[in-house]
Structure 1
Amino acid sequence: APDIKVVGTATNGAAALIEIPKVNPDVVCTDLYMKGMDGLELIQQLMARFPKPILVISVAVGAGNEQNVFQLLQAGAIDILPKPTTGLLDDYNQREILDKIRILAGVKVFTRPLRSVNKTVPSNHLPLTENVKSNGSDIKIITIGASTGGPQAVLKILQVLPKDFPLPILCTQHISAGFLEGLVSWMNQECQLSVKVAHQGEELQPGMVYYAPDRFNLEIDRRFRVVLSSADKSEYHCPSVNVMFRSVALHYGSSSLGVLLTGMGEDGARGLQGIYAAGGITIVQDEASCAVFGMPKAAIDLGVAQYVLPIETIGNHILKVTGPR
C-alpha cells in the first residue's frame, strides 16, 4: 500500500523496545509469542515508556485463547487480529490489516504505569450505590455503543456499577468476528455485573449487560424482549449502534439513557439523536479520553450530546442520574 511505510522491524520484544524509540512509528504491529520478551511484556513496557497505538496480529488470539486477547487489551493494545495459520490467505486478510493500521495511525494513546495485568475489581463505588435499588429516577434502560478502544472504555463504566444495579444495559461493540465470547468472559471477571451475549426473545433483566452478537443488530420489542435482526442496508456496520439506539428510543422514549464512546466513523450519532429527541439522556465520551474521537464528535456535531464527559466519570454520572431523587 503506497500510503503505508514499514520504518523498522525486530525479531523479538527486546529488540523492538530498542528500535521503536529510534524510528518513532505511527503504529506498532506485534505477534504475541516471540522468543525472550513476548508481545504482552513488550506492550506493557512500551505503554509505560513510549506509548504507541499497538495492533497485535497473532495465531494465539483466535477461538479458545480469549484470555490472551484481553490481557493484551488490558496491557494497552488497541486492536487485535487473528493471524491465519498459513500466511495471508487472501486479499481480505491483507485489506483488513491495512485498514486497521490506517485507523490506528490516528489513535491517541496514553502512558500506562507498569502494573500487574490481572487487576481486581476496584471497590471505589459511590456511597449512593447503597440506595440505588430504590430507583427514584425515570430512566429504565442504559444503552452503550463503542468501536476502536471500546472494550477498555466500556469496562471502566461497568466497574463503577454495583452488582445490584437496577437497570438492564445494552451494548453494541464493533469488534473482529470471533472475539465477542472472550470479551464477555473478560468483562465478567473484571466487573460485578453479569455480562452475556444477547439471545433472541429473552426478557431484559435488571443488572444484566447484553452484548449484540457477531453480525446481528441488538434491538428490543414493545414487550421489552431482545430482538436480533440481520444487517440493515442503510447502516455500514452490523451490529449497528444506530439501530440499537433507535430501537431503545422507540420503546423506552424519555426513560432511555444512551452513551456513545470512542470509535472511528459516525455510527451511533443518528441513533443518539433519536434518544435525545425522545427526551432521554445522552452522554458522549470527551475527546481527551477517547482513543478515536470520531463517533462522539459526530454526535456533538449533531447537537445531541447533553453531557460530554471523560471516561473516568461516566459510570458515576450514570449512578447519579439513575439513583434516587
Structure 2
Amino acid sequence: MKIGIVEPELAQREKLTRLVREKLGWQVLWEVSNGPAAVRRCLHQKPELILMALTLSGGEDGVTVTRNIMKDNPCAIVIITSAEHKSAGIFKALSAGALDAVEMPSDKADSIAHFLSKMKSVRTLVEDNEAGGASANKSASPIKKQTAQNADMLIAIGCSTGGPGAVALLLAELPADLPAAVVIVQHVDEEYASGMAEWLDSQIPMRTRIIQGGEKPEVGTVLLAKTNDHLVMDPTGRLGYTREPVENPYRPSVDEFFCSAGQYWRDKMMAVLLTGMGRDGGRGLLALRRLGYHTFAQNEASCAVYGMPQDAIQRGAADDIMTPQDIGQQLRDMIALPRHGGMMQGGRRL
C-alpha cells in the first residue's frame, strides 16, 4: 500500500515510516510536516492512504487539510492522535472526510499491535472501496420479519467516512421531543465513540448517548454504537453487541444492524445510509426496503465519499436519494412534525 505521512515532529514521522515499512511492508511515498505541502504532494503523487496529525506546522490544522484534500484530490485519511489530544477536532476531521482515527503508537507492544491492526483494517476498507460498487442486480439474503416487544418508531442510520458531519446536519432538522428513537452505526474506533456521542450531543436538539448493551431504543434519544463489535437487535427488541461474523471488515457493520432490525423491529421504521467508504449498508438497506420500510441514501454531491450510498443505489435499495438536510426534513414531514429543528450554537438551540 502506498501512503503519505503528515506529522510536524520528525521523530514521530520516522516512527510511523518505520512501522509501516518494516511491519506492514508498505511504501511511504512522502512525508511532510505541514498542510500546504501535503496538498501539493497529493496533486503530484497521490497515495492510497494518508496518516495525518491534527496539529501541524505551517498554520493549518489537520481538519482544514483533510477538507482540502477531500475536496480537490480525495483519498483515505486516518487521523493520528495523542493520548492528551482527543478533542472535538477529531470529529471535525471525521466530518470533513477522514476515514478513522488512531492513537500514535508508543513503544509498548500492545500499542504497536493496536496500531498495526487498525492499519490492516483500513487497508481492507480501501481495497474494498477501490473494487467498486456491487452489481445493481445483486440481491440481499432474504430475511423474515419477526415480532419484537418495542412499538416505538425507529430511525436507523448507517455511515462511515464523513459521517459525523452528515449525521449532525440530518438530525439538526429534528426536534428534541421527536416521537421516535434514533440508532446510529458509524464506523469509528471504540476509543472515540464516547467522544463522538458527546460532540454530537452538542450539535443537535436531541440528547445523544452511547449504547451500553441490553437497552431498547428510546423515544427522543439518539443512540450510538460504541464498540468494534457489531451492533444487533435481539428478538426482544434490545440492542447488543456480537463479534460474529468475524470476517466482516466493517466494524460495527451497518448491514448487520439493518438486517437484525428488519428481523426484530415490529413497528414503523425508516432507514438512512449516509456517506462512507466501502460497501457496507447496501445489502441491509435493500432488505429493509423489501420489507416495506422507507429507505434513504445520501446523494453523491453532498457525500465526503460516495462508496456506501452508491452501492445501495446500485442495488435499488433507496426510495429517496437526498442531501442529509433534505433527508432530515423528509423524515420530519413523514412524522408530521413542525419545522423547528436547528443546529446548536454556543450551547443554545437555534
Matching residue within 249, 255, 274 for 2:268: 255
Moved more, 46-55 or 22-31: 46-55
The one-letter code of the counterpart of 1:232 is E
* 1:250 positional shift: 2.2
Matched, 1:274 2:320: no
Aligned to 2:309: 296
Matched, 1:231 2:243: yes
Q: CA–CA distance in 1 between the matches of 2:159 and 2:70? A: 25
* 1:151 positional shift: 1.8
Q: Secondary structure at the match of 2:311?
A: helix
Matching residue within 43, 51, 61 for 2:65: 43
* 1:76 positional shift: 5.4
How do residues 155-234 of structure 1 correspond to structure 2 at under 5 angstroms? 155-224=168-237, 226-233=238-245
Structure 2 CA distance for partners of 1:91 and 1:218, relative to 1, 3 Å? closer
Matched, 1:67 2:88: yes
Give me the CA root mean square deviation. 3.6
Q: Tell me the percent identity.
A: 27
Is 2:210–2:225's contact at 8 Å kept on the other side of the alignment?
Answer: yes
Q: CA–CA distance in 2 between the matches of 1:173 and 1:189? A: 17
Matching residue within 48, 52, 56 for 1:30: 52
Q: Secondary structure at the match of 2:275?
A: coil
Normalising by structure 1, report the TM-score: 0.74
Structure 2 CA distance for partners of 1:33 and 1:74, relative to 1, 3 Å? same
Q: CA–CA distance in 1 between the matches of 2:58 and 2:29? A: 23
- The number of aligned residues is 292
* 1:181 positional shift: 0.8
Q: Secondary structure at the match of 1:204?
A: coil
Is 1:140–1:252's contact at 8 Å kept on the other side of the alignment?
Answer: no
Q: CA–CA distance in 2 between the matches of 1:180 and 1:317? A: 27
* 1:208 positional shift: 0.4
Aligned to 1:86: 107
Q: CA–CA distance in 2 between the matches of 1:204 and 1:242? A: 18
Q: CA–CA distance in 2 between the matches of 1:41 and 1:324? A: 35
Q: CA–CA distance in 1 between the matches of 2:169 and 2:76? A: 20
Is 1:148–1:291's contact at 8 Å kept on the other side of the alignment?
Answer: yes
* 1:28 positional shift: 4.7
Is 1:172–1:241's contact at 8 Å kept on the other side of the alignment?
Answer: yes
Q: Secondary structure at the match of 1:157?
A: helix
Is 2:162–2:275's contact at 8 Å kept on the other side of the alignment?
Answer: yes
Q: CA–CA distance in 2 between the matches of 1:5 and 1:219? A: 38
Q: CA–CA distance in 2 between the matches of 1:45 and 1:221? A: 39
The one-letter code of the counterpart of 1:277 is R
Unpaired stretches in structure 2, ≥5 consecutive residues: 4-25, 131-150, 339-350
* 1:294 positional shift: 2.7
The CA deviation string for residues 142-186 of structure 1, in whole angstroms up to 9 with x for no partner, is 001112222222122111111111100111111123111111111
* 1:321 positional shift: 1.5
Q: CA–CA distance in 1 between the matches of 2:280 and 2:312? A: 9
Q: Secondary structure at the match of 1:284?
A: strand
The CA deviation string for residues 217-261 of structure 1, in whole angstroms up to 9 with x for no partner, is 33334543x231312227603422122112222233561111112
The one-letter code of the counterpart of 2:55 is Y
Normalising by structure 2, report the TM-score: 0.69
* 1:46 positional shift: 3.7
